[in-house]
């Protein structure tokens, strides 16, 4: 039996006015997901435990089968794993975004999708500008992150710094950023770093070039998501499986690495709308020759939600359906038996442009069984099915356990 889990990030959504009251998934033409749903089962899964901020970190831990309450230590350390940065005891990793602020407001949490090269140049300048005492304490990793997604490592972090309350920049779009700077004891040091970056980046050649090219500037760094490394039982320890993941997102790679899975890099995968969707599925089918479980994570559905563009989200979902699920459907035929699960990590609502924690629709299909699921896969049919999984992390056991 081969297992494929597809995670369209942030695909779940609420009814949208401009779509005539349909959700983007409902409005999208999704013949392949509908095929799997109508010959399988659908339901709703609560991936975000009460009290947790709905994010890809928490959502994907659940999707990979780990109880976030037990295993989540922060987003930074998950991404550090992907970068090959091994944290020692007492060390902290922070997520470090490059963001655009304008008129005191958070304008773009991606700094207009700044390139890895440009981001590297900015962070290099920041490393060089650090006071000698700070240089021993912390480090940025120029060129190691992907575009706007970067990392800061802190040695000898005290308890106060570990528990500083930080806000993800994608949650404060259009809001006064100063209201959301790190809070509580230990935060002064972080705020100082962020303000220093604002000064340093203002006249930086990278930004002068961006301005001339009509792009948004990378105004400053935004620190959040700090944590110590988590201790996850591996997929092999749990199921005796060999697994692999295909994703452009560092944090998802990080979860996979802690789960003992291989990370397969597919050329042309960007984490944006120009991503090589079909390539992900082709590589997945090939990798299944010597793996039991393949996880394909697609980011564009989430990005469209953050942009607040309903049509773009519909298009991203249709691309995922046609190119990822369609390619999979054809490719999987060569295996005797296979199962497919489609499970987004959380909602990313186009009307609010942010994540939310309501239960997400999922589908499970097995080539061995012919069930009668709904004709259409969407939030409404998932609700109608009456199948509600209250602990999203248990779905993985169910998926691989019920043959
Ligand atoms: Zn997500």
Residue 26 lies in a domain: yes
Q: What is the pLDDT of residues 314-332, one digit of tens each?
A: 999 999 999 999 999 999 9
Same domain, 395 and 259: yes
Per-residue pLDDT, averaged over 380-401, amounts to 96
- Same domain, residue pair 50 and 111: no
* Domain with 154 in it: 92-227
Residue 269 has pLDDT above 80, yes or no: no
Residue 195 forms part of a structural domain: yes
| Whether 292 and 184 share a structural domain | no
105-108 vs 92-102, strand pairing mode: antiparallel
Spatial CA neighbour of 111 closest among 125, 123, 102, 100: 100
Local confidence band at 251 (pLDDT 50, 70, 90 cut-offs): confident
In a domain, 158, yes or no: yes
Pair 238, 387 in one domain: yes
Which residue stretches of 151-268 are H helix? 159-162, 187-202, 205-212, 235-239, 250-258
- CATH code assigned at 14: 3.40.720.10
For residues 252 and 204, state if they share a domain. no
Pick the closest to residue 248 from 276, 283, 221, 281 (CA basis). 276
Q: How far, in Å, is the centroid of ligand 1 from the Cα of 355?
A: 8
Based on the domain organization, do 211 and 245 belong to the same domain? no
**pLDDT tens digits, one per residue of 169-181:** 998 999 999 999 9
199 and 295 in a single domain? The answer is: no
In the prediction, which pLDDT does 88 show?
86
Report the phi/psi class of residue 74: left, alpha or beta, with left for phi > 0 and alpha for psi in -120 to 50. Answer: left
Q: Are the C-beta atoms of residues 95 and 79 closer than 8 Å to each other?
A: yes
- The alpha carbon of 114 and the centre of ligand 1 are apart by a number of angstroms equal to 20
Ligand 1 center from residue 56 Cα (angstroms): 3
CA of 299 to the centre of ligand 1 (A): 7
Alpha carbon of 373 to ligand 1 centroid (Å) = 26
Share of residues in the chain with pLDDT > 90 (%): 83
pLDDT score at 131: 83
pLDDT, mean of residues 113-135? 93
Ligand 1 centroid vs 326 CA: distance in angstroms?
22
In a domain, 126, yes or no: yes
Residue 129 Cα, ligand 1 centroid: separation in angstroms?
33
Digit-coded pLDDT (tens) for 60-88: 999 999 999 999 999 899 989 988 888 88
For the chain, the first-to-last Cα distance in angstroms comes to 8
Query: Do 35 and 67 have their domain in common?
Result: yes
Whether residues 26 and 57 share a domain: the answer is: yes
Q: Is residue 372 part of a domain?
A: yes
- Ligand 1 centre from 385 Cα, in Å? 24
What spacing in Å lies between the alpha carbon of 57 and ligand 1's midpoint? 7
How many structural domains are present in the chain? 2
**Residue 80 counted as domain residue:** no
**Ligand 1 centroid to 333 CA: how many Å?**
29
CA of 352 to the centre of ligand 1 (A): 15
* 305/346 same-domain check: yes
pLDDT tens digits, one per residue of 190-248: 999 999 999 999 999 999 999 999 999 999 999 999 999 998 999 999 999 999 999 98
pTM of the model: 0.83
Task: Tell me, in angstroms, the distance from the centre of ligand 1 to residue 390's CA.
Answer: 19
Q: Please tell me whether residues 180 and 254 are part of one structural domain.
A: no
Let me know whether 241 and 113 are in one domain: no
User: Does residue 50 sit within a domain?
Assistant: yes
Q: What separation in Å is there between the alpha carbon of 379 and the centre of ligand 1?
A: 17
């Amino acid at each position: 039996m081969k297992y494929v889990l597809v995670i369209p990030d942030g695909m779940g959504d609420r009814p949208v006015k401009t779509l005539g009251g349909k959700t983007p998934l409902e409005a999208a033409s999704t013949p392949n997901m509908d095929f799997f749903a109508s010959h399988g089962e659908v339901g709703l899964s609560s991936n975000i435990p009460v009290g947790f901020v709905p994010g890809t970190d928490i959502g994907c831990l659940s999707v990979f089968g780990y109880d976030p309450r037990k295993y989540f230590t922060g987003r930074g350390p998950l991404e550090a794993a992907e970068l090959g940065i091994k944290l020692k005891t007492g060390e902290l990793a922070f997520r470090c975004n490059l963001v655009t602020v304008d008129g005191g407001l958070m304008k773009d949490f991606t700094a207009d999708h700044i390139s890895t090269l440009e981001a590297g140049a900015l962070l290099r300048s920041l490393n060089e500008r650090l006071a000698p005492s700070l240089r021993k304490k912390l480090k940025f990793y120029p060129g190691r992150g992907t575009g706007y997604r970067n990392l800061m490592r802190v040695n000898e972090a005290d308890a106060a710094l570990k528990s500083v309350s930080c806000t993800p920049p994608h949650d404060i779009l259009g809001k006064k950023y100063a209201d959301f700077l790190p809070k509580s004891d230990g935060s002064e040091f972080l705020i100082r770093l962020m303000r220093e970056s604002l000064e340093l980046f203002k006249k930086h050649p990278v930004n002068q070039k961006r301005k001339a090219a009509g792009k948004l500037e990378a105004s400053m760094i935004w620190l959040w998501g700090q944590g110590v490394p988590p201790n996850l039982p591996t997929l092999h320890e749990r199921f005796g499986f060999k697994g692999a993941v295909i994703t452009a997102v560092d944090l998802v790679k990080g979860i996979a690495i802690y789960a003992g899975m291989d990370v397969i890099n597919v050329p042309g995968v960007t984490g944006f709308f120009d991503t090589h969707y079909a390539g992900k599925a082709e590589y997945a089918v090939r990798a299944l020759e010597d793996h039991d479980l393949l996880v394909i994570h697609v980011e564009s559905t989430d990005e469209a939600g953050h942009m607040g563009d309903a049509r773009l989200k519909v298009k991203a979902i249709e691309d995922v359906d046609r190119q990822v699920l369609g390619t999979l459907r054809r490719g999987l035929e060569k295996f005797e038996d296979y199962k497919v699960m489609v499970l987004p990590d959380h909602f990313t609502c186009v009307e609010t442009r942010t994540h939310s924690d309501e239960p997400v629709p999922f589908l499970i299909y097995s080539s061995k069984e012919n069930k009668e699921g709904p004709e259409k896969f969407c939030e409404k049919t998932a609700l109608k099915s009456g199948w509600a999984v209250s602990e999203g992390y248990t779905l993985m056991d169910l998926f691989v356990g019920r043959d």
